[in-house]
Amino acid sequence: MLVIVAPGQGAQTPGFLTPWLEDPTFATRFAWLSTVADMDLAGYGTEADAETIRDTQVAQPLLVATALVAALELFPHPTDGFSRIGAVAGHSVGELAAAAGARVITAEQAMVLVRERGKAMATAAARTPTGMTAVLGGDRDEVRAALEEHGLTAANDNGPGQVVAAGTAEQLEAFAAAPPARARLVPLSVAGAFHTHHMAPAVDHLGMLARSVSVHDPRTRLISNRDGTLVHDGRDVLRRIVGQIASPVRWDLCLETMADLGVTGILEMPPAGTLTGIAKRVLKGVETFALKTPDQLDDARAFCDKHGEESDMGTNPTWRMVVSPAKGTFHIAADAADAGSLGAGAPVGDVASLRDRIHVTAAHGGQVVEWLVEDGDLVSPGQPLLRLHPEGAL
């Protein structure tokens, strides 16, 4: 199984876009997305220094535009991608690129949203001196306890031995003075405490704009940063992306879901390296490909051919199939067990794991054709639970 991932803020480096813009097709498409964002993204990606592209308002649109156009270079015909990609995911702002790649939103909608996201987060960060510090190593429980003691948030949990603490400057200074045992602290060059309550004003702004955005259900499995579950409802994808601004990125749970899906290959869109580096440490035996420059495209396509397999979502549209969002034990809802039809949003059941219990609903509703699992069955992420037809379609 092939999973495509898009990196988040911090992956950018000065001049990383230069070789990509030598391709006229890439340059033209990139110019269009730059126009939508009303920014000279080509200039930022080729000429700007590290401090300039560190700016949240610059970095976020630059990363999303690069991932989207590079995806078209990798899969010139998007349907070719859907016949190979098993799932997509994006780290933090990379979720917007993943959502556009899965056809939840258009590339143009993604660029407007990321432009406003970057502006709103920069404004929120300017209200109070805040920051982020990577915590490398140490005992997980001890690290978590130390963060709680200092009032900090684990804004990014990227897997064993890699947590990012976020909070006020004073909280981070106190934390640095008494770090957890065997942990190394690395202050990050970011504008503020992203993915914490300090970003609440940005959530309000983007949430207001998102109400006017039309969405479609994903064309391939989309793994959410919020809790690592698979999301098959386009409206829920957008809600999660908006809320993610002020809530932690659980990339560790995304990796767990990839493992549950049976991933064999992970390809990271440019500027690549961060997420494949994490995957190498966490998902032993899974091959990775960091797409950094256009001269790697032929090898990247061969990688996709090797690991790609068509998702069952290509033949079973999500509005006809209710699927499991996670790994666990499925319990059928009492009202759904003998129902001949289910309304939109009706409870179907829940998936219980050692970590939590996730409610499953019939997003679009319809006539019950057949149950594909029984009460108490163990299920995996994306496994079909119930087949439905829209009312009147039988």
CATH number of the domain encompassing residue 166: 3.30.70.250
* Claim to verify: residue 259 and residue 326 sit in the same structural domain: no
Domain boundary residue, one of 313, 347, 372: 313
* Claim to verify: residue 25 and residue 93 sit in the same structural domain: yes
344 lies in a domain? yes
pLDDT, position 378: 95
Q: One of 91, 150, 195, 307 is an active-site residue; which one?
A: 195
Q: Give the mean pLDDT of 14-31.
A: 97
Beta-sheet strand order (sheet of 366-371): 321-323, 384-389, 366-371, 341-342
> How many domains are there within the chain?
3
* Claim to verify: residue 176 and residue 251 sit in the same structural domain: no
Q: One of 34, 92, 224, 324 is an active-site residue; which one?
A: 92
96 lies in a domain? yes
45, pLDDT greater than 60 = yes
Annotate 121-170 with DSSP letters as a single string. Answer: HHHHHTTS-EEEEEEEES-HHHHHHHHHHTT-EEEEE-STTEEEEEEEHH
Kindly provide the residue ranges of all beta strands, DSSP E only, lying in 7-152, ordered along the sequence.
85-90, 130-137
Domain that holds residue 84: 2-124+197-313
CATH number for the domain harbouring residue 115: 3.40.366.10
What global pTM score does this model have?
A: 0.86
pLDDT, position 277: 95
Residue 166 to residue 135: CA distance in whole angstroms: 10
pLDDT, position 390: 74
The percentage of the chain sitting over the pLDDT mark of 90, rounded to a whole number, equals 85
Residue 15 to residue 160: CA distance in whole angstroms: 32
314, pLDDT greater than 70 = no
Burial 293-324, CB ≥16 within 10 A → b, else e: ebebeeebbebbeebbeebebeeeebbbbbbb
- pLDDT-derived band at 189, boundaries 50, 70, 90: confident
192 lies in a domain? no
392, pLDDT greater than 50 = no
Q: Give the mean pLDDT of 193-207.
A: 96
391, pLDDT greater than 80 = no
Kindly provide the residue ranges of all beta strands, DSSP E only, lying in the chain, ordered along the sequence.
2-6, 85-90, 130-137, 153-157, 162-168, 183-187, 221-223, 230-231, 265-268, 287-290, 321-323, 328-332, 341-342, 346-352, 357-362, 366-371, 378-379, 384-389
* Claim to verify: residue 115 and residue 153 sit in the same structural domain: no
* Claim to verify: residue 244 and residue 332 sit in the same structural domain: no
pLDDT, position 52: 95
Q: Write the pLDDT tens digit of every residue in 271-289.
A: 999 999 999 999 999 999 9
Higher pLDDT, 19 or 363: 19
Higher pLDDT, 34 or 310: 34
Average pLDDT for the chain: 93
Domain boundary residue, one of 164, 187, 210: 187
Catalytic site includes residue 232: no
* Claim to verify: residue 210 and residue 179 sit in the same structural domain: no
pLDDT, position 160: 86
Domain boundary residue, one of 187, 210, 230: 187
pLDDT, position 77: 81
* Claim to verify: residue 257 and residue 169 sit in the same structural domain: no
Q: CB count, 10 Å around CB of 280? A: 14
Residue 364 to residue 215: CA distance in whole angstroms: 14
Residue 344 to residue 207: CA distance in whole angstroms: 23
Identity of residue 104: V
* Claim to verify: residue 382 and residue 331 sit in the same structural domain: yes
Catalytic site includes residue 189: no
* Claim to verify: residue 120 and residue 133 sit in the same structural domain: no
pLDDT, position 317: 52
* Claim to verify: residue 331 and residue 288 sit in the same structural domain: no
The percentage of the chain sitting over the pLDDT mark of 70, rounded to a whole number, equals 96
* Claim to verify: residue 204 and residue 289 sit in the same structural domain: yes
* Claim to verify: residue 44 and residue 183 sit in the same structural domain: no
HSE, CB side, 13 Å, CA atoms: give it for residue 125. Answer: 20
Q: Write the pLDDT tens digit of every residue in 130-166.
A: 999 999 999 999 999 999 999 999 999 998 889 999 9
- pLDDT-derived band at 315, boundaries 50, 70, 90: very low
Residue 324 to residue 365: CA distance in whole angstroms: 16
198 three-state secondary structure: helix
Q: Write the pLDDT tens digit of every residue in 300-309.
A: 999 999 999 8
